[in-house]
Structure formats: C-alpha cells, structure tokens
Amino acid sequence: MLEKISKNFFLSLSKNKLLNSGAKRWGLRLGASQVVAGVTIESVIDVVRQLNDKGLVCTVDHLGEFVLIKEEAEQSTAICIETLEAIAESGVQCNLSVKLTQLGLDIDKQFCLDNMQKIMSVANRLGIFVRIDMEDYARKQLTLDILEELRNSYDNVGTVIQAYLYCSNDDVKALKGIPLRLVKGAYKESEKVAYQEKEKVDENYFEIIKTHLLSGSYTAIASHDHHIIEKVKRFTEENNISKEQFEFQMLYGFRTNLQEELAKEGYTMRVYVPYGKDWYGYFMRRLAERPQNVSFALKGLVSK
C-alpha cells in the first residue's frame, strides 16, 4: 500500500508544470545528477565514451516532453540532429532515443511527423538507430501510426511497448520484425487499459518478451529486475536464440555492477543515458518506480 501511495505521489509530481519550470532553474540537484548525464551534448558524449570503455553500448535521450509551442519543438528537433552528428563525429557506440511530445505531437501530428522525418534523414545518413520512446496510453496509437509511416522509408527506427497495457501482446505481434524495447511501463494508467498489480505486469512482461524473441525479431529487454534477466537468459539458451538477436537495457546510474557483469558475459548491454535541462519529469518517474530510488536520490543530495 505504501509503495502504491509513493508511486502515485511521484507520478503526480512528474506532471506538475510549476515544479518542472523551477527544476530548469535549479539545475541537476535533488540527486538527479546521478541519473542524468549533464545538460549539454558534450557532457553526454563524455559519459557515453566512459561507458563504452567498460564494454557498454548506449542510447542517449535529450530530455523533454509535452511541448506545446512550435518553436520549442523545432529547437528540440535541431538538438536531436546535433546529438546525432556529435555521436557520429565522436565515434562512440550509441543510438538516439526521442519522445514525440517533445517534437510537437500534442501540437499537430503532421508537424511532429515532419520533425521526425528530419531526424531520420540525418540518422539514416549517419547509420544511427533511432528509438521512439512510448509515452502514456493516450498517445500510444499516434506513436504507432508515426512509426508505421517512418518504417515505409527507414529500417533504422523502432519503438517501445509497455507490458502493463492489456493490448501489449497484440501490439508486439503486430510489430513483428521491428526492433522493440520492451518495458514494464512507467506512467500512471487507468485500470481500464492497464494492469494495476505488479504480479500481472511481471507475468505479461515475460510473455511479450517471449513472443517477440520467438518471432525472430530483435528484442531489447529493458529491466533492472535480475529475476527477469535470469529468466531471459534461460529462455534464450533453451530455445537456441542467439545473443545477436537481443540485448539488455538499463538506465544510467542504476545497477551499474550488473550492467558490467552482463557485458562481460558476452551480452549486449545498452545504457539509456538522458541529458538536458528538462530533467524533472524523467527524474520523478524514476522515483515513482521503486521506493529505493527515493533514498538513492537523497544520498545524492546530501553528498553534494
């Protein structure tokens, strides 16, 4: 019960526009610097280089979401392109992750698609994979529609499916052949569309992992849950699924020892590395996911 109250509290905070605005002025305080790799492109490339040196590959995300002004969406598009160019110039092993609401999805679908086309044109030229992050359920179908449009022209783009949604297994089956990141889900959703019990989410999560792997599709298993990770290891070995067909993913700053262990075992281990001034919503969702993350943040704050 306490865990559910804590989760709802931080998810509510994540949508507070006043606090989000203030967070941009505070800088990376409240422990956020432990899970956000600075505010500049230079800072994130430096972090990615350090992670690559440990045998880890990465995906970077310029933080931001729910943009309602066209100029801001255009600026975010330009930063994504600059990030792609910095990745290519530096030679680091890294992909790009984007959020469509940062690129104008809530302004106009076609406007957002146009911005994604600009990003994909550069990513395709540079040979960099782009992952469209999945946001809340209200925007799920719009995200899948834009993905479908982009896949008509580009192979180097995929998205994310969230296991807590009832429709996730059907979505995974429909997206056979498309590289997917599979996650449990980090938004507060109604019981009309999403499982509310952790046990059911965990069960469905492993089901969609198996479904995508058995379809022969490239699968990114994004989880810090060592029980899930061990089950995936056993399942892939029992079904003769090559390590080349899947990867594990974790967030920057979390379970770093486990990340390095998986890389040493020969698995592709990709670290999701966020950066930028608009870190507040991302950080609040991390605090909502696990009560342990709150003490983790407080330790970061008092150590400053």
Of the candidates 181, 270, 285, 286, the residue annotated as catalytic is 181
Give the three-state DSSP class for 55. Answer: coil
Task: Provide the 8-state DSSP code for 102.
Answer: G
CB neighbours of 139 closer than 8 A, spacing ≥ 6? 100, 101, 105
Active site residue 234: no
**φ/ψ of residue 157, rounded to 5:** -145, 140
Q: How far is CA 245 from CA 83, 97, 158, 176, 240, in A?
A: 26, 20, 15, 13, 11
For residue 1, give the amino acid letter. M
Length of the chain in residues, anyone? 304
CB neighbours of 237 closer than 8 A, spacing ≥ 6? none
Active site residue 225: no
Burial class of 141 by CB neighbour count within 10 A (0 to 12, 13 to 18, 19+): exposed
Task: Provide the 8-state DSSP code for 194.
Answer: B
Of the candidates 133, 136, 171, 278, the residue annotated as catalytic is 133
Give the three-state DSSP class for 95. Answer: strand
Q: What is the DSSP string of 196-246?
A: -SHHHHHHHHHHHHHHHHHTT--EEEE---HHHHHHHHHHHHHTT--GGGE
Residues with active-site annotation: 133, 181
